[in-house]
Amino acid sequence: MGRVQGKVAIVTGAASGFGAATAKLLVKEGAQVVGTDKNADALKALSTHIGNGFTPLAHDVTKEADWARVVDETMTRHGRLDILMNNAGVFGSGAPQDLENISFEEWRFVNDVNMDGVFLGCRAVIPAMAKSGGGSIVNISSIAGIRGTSHIVAYGASKGAVRQLTKSVAQHCGFKGYKIRCNSIHPGMVRTPLGNDVLRFNWGDEEKGAAARVKGVPLGEFGTVEDIAYATLFLASDESKHITASEIVIDGGLTGAG
């Protein structure tokens, strides 16, 4: 029997990166997964690759009505909801993000997806999860949500907000007796499309940036999308039934090394 056998999950940003890897793993471990993304074509391709157990839905996480539709379709199709991976996110448009030069438009763009999208997702799934007898919300933050990020102030602030919101959601659901847990994952450098955006932004070249950044990782290598997928699987499963309001840092020791 799989580790999440019989559970139903929504995974946002499922077309690539952490979302795609997690969707595959959850299906492999017995879950029915509704994968959402703005990139409908990539979702279709993923659906063909995963096969049974995966349902693709186009979804803009910044739209309240989209969240209502996704939750409604999930409940109509499967009759329950046990897991949400709030994974959809952006790094930015490539415009400056230092405090003196960032535009308000850039600030709002990054926070609209990374912060407001996570808030809307948490709020949207609580009634369905409570009706299902409980569940697990996994919010993807970043090590940028833990330490200062003066050169990428919007991204860091959005991920810090996710960290704090996670604890508030966990506290609310716990005291309400909903049996809904909420935890955050904080990846370091992983070579996803977003991760490569970070490298290009900071160093101008992906490979040059990767060579420079990996020198600061005590384990001597970057993480992989599977590292994040397996952490999500653990938090989504009953193996973590007494873990809530917690954070898992997956960065090869980068933040711990100073």
* pLDDT tens column, 77-128: 999 999 999 999 999 999 999 999 999 999 999 999 999 999 999 999 999 9
**131-137 mean pLDDT:** 98
On whether residue 164 sits in a domain, the answer given is yes
Whether 230 is catalytic: no
Scanning the chain, the segments in alpha helix (DSSP H) are 17-28, 40-50, 64-78, 104-111, 117-131, 153-176, 193-203, 206-214, 225-236
Q: Are residues 88 and 112 in the same domain?
A: yes
* CA-to-CA separations, 42 to 58, 184, 196, 213, 225, in angstroms, rounded: 10, 26, 18, 29, 17
The overall average pLDDT reported for the chain is: 95
Judgement on whether residues 40 and 51 belong to the same structural domain of the protein: yes
Shared domain check, 214 and 116: no
**Do 229 and 108 share a structural domain?**
yes
Residues 128 and 40 in one domain: yes
In this structure, what is the dihedral angle of CA atoms 247, 126, 164, 99, given to the nearest 10 degrees?
120
Task: Identify the CATH number of the domain in which residue 246 sits.
Answer: 3.40.50.720
Residues 121 and 194 in one domain: no
The reply to whether 256 falls in a domain is no
The β-bridge partners of 56 are: 35
- Is 211 in the same domain as 181? no
Task: Write the pLDDT tens digit of every residue in 157-201.
Answer: 999 999 999 999 999 999 999 999 999 999 998 988 877 887 887
pLDDT band at 47 (very low <50, low <70, confident <90, very high): very high
Considering the domain architecture, whether residues 199 and 104 belong to the same structural domain is answered as no
Would you place residue 258 in the very low, low, confident or very high pLDDT band (cuts 50, 70, 90)?
low
Q: pTM for this one?
A: 0.95
Q: Is the pLDDT of residue 138 over 90?
A: yes
Establish if 131 belongs to a structural domain. yes
Is residue 2 a part of any domain in this protein? no
Q: Are residues 45 and 166 in the same domain?
A: yes
Label residue 19 by pLDDT band (50, 70, 90).
very high
Q: Domain for residue 1, yes or no? A: no
Which DSSP string do the residues of 23-77 spell out, in sequence order? HHHHHHTT-EEEEEES-HHHHHHHHHHH-TTEEEEE--TT-HHHHHHHHHHHHHH
Catalytic residue among 18, 54, 91, 155: 155
pLDDT given for residue 172 in this prediction: 98
Residue 18 within a domain: yes
Q: Which domain holds residue 42?
A: 8-188+224-250
The model's pLDDT over 201-224, given as tens digits with 9 standing for 90+, comes to 778 888 888 888 889 899 999 999
Whether 69 is in a domain gets the answer yes
* Residues 158 and 209 grouped into a single domain: no
Q: Which two tokens stand for residue 130?
A: 């409570």
**Residue 255 domain-assigned (yes or no):** no
Residue that the structure tokens 């309001």 belong to: 245
Domain count, the chain: 2
In this structure, are 211 and 235 located in the same domain? no
> Residue 132 pLDDT more than 70?
yes
31 and 106 in a single domain? The answer is: yes
